């Protein structure tokens, strides 16, 4: 590791904790999970940010504490796109997804964003969560995702205007 560490980069420990959730949270069929290189390269871009959540709902749990989920997002001008959003299977259905999504929306609002986007697989149960926070489907990319067995699934673009 380079020394002194670059203060503009997230601690490597956070990347470890993101990857821990990444590796268990995304169903392998759809190829949605990113590898470590993709995550660390994205975080070199100033416009990409992330947040971690602990199993007790704490945002930004302390180094060494357990992490239950994370998101990673990218902003362009007054817009922000949620690129990855995941809660580890063992901590699901306890409201962590709600808490983390609220944090994402509030954090974007505080940074002056007015339109939030995300793209999801058609029929992903996460649609219920996004709808509960006001996201609305605004587009569809036919056959965007390809499953391991070659099936194609549409991508649904969701938007939330927070101006
Ligand atoms: C989607 C995800 C983040 C939800 O996390 P979570 O912590 O379980 O979410 P919450 O407990 O806050 O639940 C929020 C609501 O979403 C809905 N929901 C979440 N998972 C669901 C499921 N498997 N089936 C049906 N509804 C579901 C429910 O309405 C739930 O509220 P309820 O428990 O009061 O009924 C999690 O399942 C996950 O990481 N999935 C894999 C990764 C993924 O698909 N990410 C989204 C990419 S677009």
Residue 93 CA, ligand 1 centroid: distance in Å: 6
- 119/117 Cα distance (integer angstroms): 7
Ligand 1 touching residue 135 (CB < 6 A): no
Q: Quote the Cα angle for 124-91-59, to 5°.
A: 100
Does 26 sit in the ligand 1 pocket, CB within 6 Å?
A: yes
> What is this structure's pTM?
0.94
Q: Is residue 87 lining ligand 1, measured as CB closer than 6 Å? A: yes
Ligand 1 close to Cβ of residue 124 (< 6 A): yes
State the distance from the centre of ligand 1 to the C-alpha of 1, rounded, in angstroms.
36
**pLDDT at residue 114, rounded to an integer:** 98
Ligand 1 atom with minimal separation from the 84 CA: 47
- pLDDT tens for the chain, 163 residues: list them: 445 555 666 777 899 999 999 999 999 888 899 999 999 999 988 899 999 999 999 999 998 899 999 999 999 999 999 999 999 999 999 999 999 999 999 999 999 999 999 999 999 999 999 999 999 999 999 999 989 889 999 999 999 999 7
CA of 97 from ligand 1 middle (Å) equals 6
CA of 114 to the centre of ligand 1 (A): 24
Distance in Å, CA 14 to ligand 1 centroid: 23
């Amino acid at each position: 590791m380079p020394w002194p560490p670059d203060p503009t980069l997230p601690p490597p420990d956070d990347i470890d904790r993101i990857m821990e959730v990444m590796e268990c949270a995304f169903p392998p069929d759809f190829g949605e999970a990113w590898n470590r290189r993709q995550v660390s390269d994205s975080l070199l871009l100033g416009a990409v940010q992330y947040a971690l959540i602990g199993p007790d709902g704490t945002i930004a749990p302390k180094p060494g504490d357990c992490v239950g989920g994370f998101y990673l997002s990218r902003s362009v001008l007054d817009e922000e796109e949620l690129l990855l959003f995941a809660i580890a299977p063992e901590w699901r259905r306890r409201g962590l997804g709600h808490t983390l999504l609220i944090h994402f929306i509030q954090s974007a609002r505080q940074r002056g964003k007015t339109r939030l986007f995300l793209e999801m697989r058609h029929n992903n149960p996460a649609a219920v969560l996004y709808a509960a926070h006001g996201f609305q489907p605004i587009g569809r990319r036919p056959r965007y995702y390809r499953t391991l067995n070659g099936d194609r699934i549409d991508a649904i673009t969701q938007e939330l205007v927070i101006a």
